[in-house]
Homo-oligomer: A and B are copies of this chain.
Amino acid sequence: MQALILAGGSGTRFWPLSRKRSPKQLLALEGERSLLRDTLERLRPLVGPESVWVCTTEALGERVRAELPEVPPEQILLEPEGRNTAPAIGWSVRSMPEAARRGVVAVLPADHRVGDAAAFRDTLERAGRIVEREDRVMTLGVTPRWAETGYGYLELAPGAGPEGVRRVRRFVEKPTPENAARFVASGDYLWNAGIFLFRGATFLEVLARLQPELAAGLEEIAAAPGRRRELYARLPSDSIDYAVMERLDAISTLPLDCGWSDLGSWEALAEVLPPDAQGNTGRGEVVAVDARDNLLVSDSGTLAVLGVEGLVVVRTGDAVLVCPKARSQEVRKIIAELAARGRGDLL
């Protein structure tokens, strides 16, 4: 099995810790290792570094190579610019040697959290065997643990096949709270975790059928690698869900139960960190007096809080963020204000 790790994200959700040059996948949000490094580590021994491919951007290439020295440098692919996941996956698969493409490719985001790596590998391995045997396109959907409104869902068709395989009836966008509650109660929905498996060659055939313009563009790049930059910029920008997965008649899934989180916000991070006796989570030099249920992160200097509850407080060398946990997904409003002020140095 080849693993293709998508590591081109430039998310701003973990500002002020995440920056353009240091996006989420390069941060050690939960421990000592970056999320990207964690993604590599959790694949062993199922997929060794020699079978790992990483798709990232030119701007991040140096940092990604330094983070993953075991991965052969020619397998770290640098997009000239971010064009969303469909071009990234298509170009990466097309860049693999034919022998690799004939086998199973697992597409994995670089910036998610998995609590139970063994359970993750076990499900991934089972899915890989099914794909190899039956040449299906599969996704791993996460068994929902609460009525999350921040994730997309996979609606399952009734009835399970052998080995617990389910058919995906449709992809569902982020639901309302009422729908999310109904989804979880029904047992017929999984969280869409952005994990896909297919034979590489099969995926390229699917792409040629469903997204002929994209597929043709990829062939052009393969034929004229010197014009890669110019040609890549012309590829239609789309997500893999929208461009391919939602258009497939037959996509299968295995439910994944491994303490997964997309770590989509400071609040999501707070939920997976071990709390102290007062419910505070975080790291760095922190003093918390009569303070409860806060996420307190300092990667530079001392952070002192007193008498506050439910806050996110993050300190870096050049910035501080303070907001209620429940509003931490609105950090983009701060980014927008900083951008409007011309403070690109902080982004």
Asked whether A158 is an interface residue with its Cβ less than 8 Å from the other chain, the reply is: no
The segment from A167-175, A238-246, A269-277, A309-317 that touches chain B is A309-317
CB interface residues, A 273-332, toward B, < 8 Å: 287, 289-290, 298, 301-308, 311, 313, 315-324, 327, 330-331
- CB of A306 within 8 A of CB of B289, answer no
Closest residue of B by beta carbon distance from A323: B306
A337 adjacent to chain B (CB < 8 Å): yes
What residues of chain B lie closer than 8 Å to A334, measured between beta carbons?
A: 287, 289, 304, 306
Nearest B residue to A322, CB-CB: B305
> Which of A304, A313, A316, A318 is packed against the most chain B CB atoms within 10 Å?
A304
Give the number of copies in the complex.
Answer: 2
Interface residues of A, CB < 8 Å — how many? 35
Contact B322–A313 (Cβ < 8 Å): yes
Min Cβ gap A140→B in Å is 34
Task: Give chain B nearest CB distance to A341 CB in angstroms.
Answer: 8
- In the assembled complex, the Cα of A324 lies from the Cα of B290 at a distance in Å of 12
A185 interface residue (CB < 8 Å to B): no
Which residue of the partner chain B has the closest CB to A321? B304
Shortest distance from the beta carbon of A301 to any chain B beta carbon, whole Å: 5
> A133 at the A/B interface (Cβ < 8 Å)?
no
Instruction: State whether A330 touches B289 (Cβ < 8 A).
Output: yes
A 1-17 to B, binary, CB cutoff 8 A, 1 in contact else 0: 00000000000000010
The answer to the question of A346 belonging to the interface, with a C-beta cut-off of 8 Å to chain B, is yes
Q: Which of B289, B320, B322, B327 contacts A301 (CB 8 A)?
A: B320
Q: CB < 8 Å: which of B319, B322, B341 contacts A322?
A: B322
User: For residue A345, which residue of chain B has the nearest CB?
Assistant: B302
Q: Which residue of B lies closest to A317 (CB)?
A: B301
Interface residues of A, Cβ cutoff 8 Å to B? 16, 287, 289-290, 298, 301-308, 311, 313, 315-324, 327, 330-331, 333-334, 337-338, 341, 343, 346
Leading 7 A-B pairs by shortest Cβ distance = A306-B323, A307-B327, A302-B319, A301-B318, A305-B322, A304-B334, A289-B333
